[in-house]
Amino acid sequence: MAVGLKPPVDLLPVAGVRLGVAAADIRGNGAKRNDVCVIVLPARARSAVVLTNNVFAAAPVQLIRKHRGECAAPRALLINSGNANAGTGDVGLADAALCCQQLADQLGVEAQAVWPFSTGVIGQRLPAQRLCEAIPGAVAAAAADGWQSAAQAIMTTDTVAKGCSATMTVGGQQYTVSGMTKGAGMIRPDMATMLAFVATDAPLSQAAVDSLLEHAVDASFHNIVVDGDTSTNDACTLTATGEADALIEPGTAEFAVVEQVVTQVFVDLAQRIVRDGEGATKFVTVQVDGARTADEARQVAMTVAESPLVKTAWFASDANWGRMLAAVGRSGIDGLALRGVILGLTSADGSLQTTMVASGQPADGYDESVADIIMALPEFTVQIGLGRGDATARIWTCDLGHDYVRINAEYRT
C-alpha cells in the first residue's frame, strides 16, 4: 500500500497540450485497461528529455536519441505500458519506428517529430500491430484535461496514479505546471525517473527548458531510490508551450521563479514514486550533514538508503542502528572518523527525535524505546552527521519487505 499517497484529483490543463489514451492489450491477456497514451504538442513548443544511463537502453530510448538529432522539437509523445521493448534488437527498433510512423500519419507530421516511450516487461517483442491499431483512438480522445487518464494508462506495478500541478505568477501573468510519472520498482538515480512527463505554459526559451530540466531532475529524481536497480527505459521530458515577444531565459529573475515552482513539481513526482515503492510501508528521508563535499554526502546517503539490511530493519521497525552505522562505514569515504559521526532519528513532524550514536559510541541517555516509536511511524528521517565539513545531501527512499519479493517474483505471471 502506498505510503501517504492518494491518486491526484486536481491535475490542471496546460495550454497547447492534449492527452489521449486507448486500450491496445499490450500485455496480451485480454485486459481492457488503457495502456497507450498520446501527448500532442503544439508546433512551437520547446521540449527537452533526459534518458537512462543504462548501457542496454531500450529501443524507444535509442529512437528518441535518433529523432532528437533529426528534428528540432517533438510534436507528439507516444507512451505504452506493459512492454518495455528492451532487449529486442533490430526488430524492437523497427517496431518502435512503425508505431512512431503511425502516430505521425495521424497527426500529419514527420515520424522524427514523435518521441516513443515504453515501460513494462523486458525482453518481449512489442505487439506493434495492436499498438498501431489503438493509436487513432488515443488521438481522437486527446484533450487538454486528459492528464488524469494518462497518468493511469502509463502505470505498471504502480498501485496509484501519480501526478501533480502547480500555478505561478511571473511578470503579472499566471502560468500552470502539470506533470505525471510512473514507477515503483527498478528505481535508482542513474538518471532514475522511470517515466515522467511535465509541461508548462510559461514562455520559456529552449535554453531555459534545457537548463531547467537538468536542474529539476538533479534536485528530484536523482535523489530517490527504491531497490538500487536502474531501468533500460528511464526517461523524463519537460515541455514549454507558452509564447511571448521575449521568451524567459536562464539567469533572469523570471526564470528563478519558474525554476522554483517547476522543481517543486519534480520533487513531488519523485517522492510519489518512493511512496509507492513496491511493497513499501515506510517513506524514509536520509539526511547527511557535515560532509566535505556534496558528492561525499550523497555517497553516504545512498549507501544507507540502498542497504538491504538497513531497509529490512526499517520494515520491521527495528531500531538496529548498527546496520545504519555499518553502511556509513562502508560508503567509501576516505579518512572518515567514527568519532565524528552522529546518527539519529526524527519523526516526520519533528515532534519526536533521538540521537542513537555520538562520538563513536551509543549516545548518552539514548533510549531505544523512543527510536522504536519513531521507526514504527510511516514516515521518518534518518539524520547522519559526519563532522568534517558543511556539505549536505538528502535522499528519499523506502523500506524493503515481503511484498517486494512477491511482486517481483510474480511480475511475469
Which tens digits make up the pLDDT trace of 294-322?
999 999 999 999 999 999 999 999 999 99
Q: List Cβ neighbours of 168 (8 Å cut-off, separation of 6 or more).
A: 174, 175, 177, 202, 257, 258, 261
Based on the fold, state whether residues 271 and 287 are members of the same structural domain. Answer: no
Which residue range forms the structural domain that includes residue 122?
Answer: 18-275
**What is the three-state SS of 336-399?**
CCHHHCEEEEEECCCCCEEEEEECCEECCCCCHHHHHHHHCCCEEEEEEECCCCCEEEEEEEEC
**Beta strand 173-182 with 162-170: parallel, antiparallel or unpaired?**
antiparallel
293 has catalytic annotation:
no
Domain end marker among 275, 304, 330: 275
Q: What is the CA radius of gyration of the chain?
A: 22
Q: How far apart are CA 301 and CA 286, in angstroms?
A: 6
Does residue 197 lie in a domain region? yes
The predicted structure's pLDDT at residue 381? 98
Catalytic residue among 156, 193, 200, 230: 193
**In-domain check, residue 4:** no
One domain, residues 289 and 366: yes
pLDDT, tens digit, 9 for 90 and up, residues 202-260: 999 999 999 999 999 999 998 998 866 666 788 999 999 999 999 999 999 999 999 99
Residues 294 and 194 placed together within one structural domain of the fold: no
CA–CA separation, 186 and 171 (whole Å): 41
Segment (H or E) for 103: helix 89-107
> Are 220 and 85 within one domain?
yes
Overall domain count for the chain: 2
Q: What is the spatial order of strands in the sheet that 379-385 belongs to?
A: 361-362, 353-358, 342-347, 379-385, 283-291, 391-398
* pTM for the structure as a whole: 0.94
Q: Which band of pLDDT confidence, cut at 50, 70 and 90, is reported for residue 366?
A: very high
What is the spatial distance between Cα 314 and Cα 127, in angstroms, rounded to a whole number? 41
- As given in the structure block, the three cell numbers for residue 27 are 500485455
